[in-house]
Amino acid sequence: MKTILVQISEPSWTMQALHLACALARNNAAQIILLRLMPVRHPSYLGSAFGNSPPTEQERHDMAEYAATAEDYGVELSIQPMQCATVLGALVDAADQLNVDAVFAHIHKSWIPYWHQFQTWDLRRQLSAAHRQLFTLDSPPQHKEYVPAIMIESSHTEASK
């Protein structure tokens, strides 16, 4: 494993993913690329100055914390900005362009049933076609064990006594 891509998302998720990626990178002598996605308002803005958005003060602060975390692990870290029309498509494109071996991706939950599972499956499928691993911080689905229960009522009543 040479390069690990970590999507910058919600700060708590990103920090958790970064800790895992840093441990993996340190054990495999890999570098980490933090991917800062910049969704564009219109696809025609892709590749133009209209699609660029400078990081906010909070984002700068968070990126400094990410860099300090990687430094604590002794791992090389770089930040790569990228314009995108869709986040999942951008993750696949970035993985290809940067020739990464593993991707830490944050796939947001959806109110549409099973959409999150489909998106995860599709992203995993696209990345594995290029022999890349996908890591999400999702918990595995909890399977509740079904235990059938029946209630037996007595057929005897007071009248039959």
Looking at residue 74, what DSSP letter applies? T
Q: What does the alpha-carbon distance between residue 83 and residue 93 come to, in Å, rounded to a whole number? A: 11
Q: Where are the domains of the chain?
A: 3-139
Altogether, the residues listed in the chain come to a count of 161
Q: Topology of 3-139 in CATH? A: Rossmann fold (3.40.50)
Per-residue pLDDT of the chain (161 residues; tens, 9 = 90+): 699 999 999 999 999 999 999 999 999 999 999 999 988 877 777 767 767 788 899 999 999 999 999 999 999 999 999 988 888 999 999 999 999 999 999 998 888 888 999 999 999 999 999 999 999 987 655 555 656 556 666 666 555 55
Distance CA 20, CA 106 (A): 14
- The whole-model pTM stands at 0.79
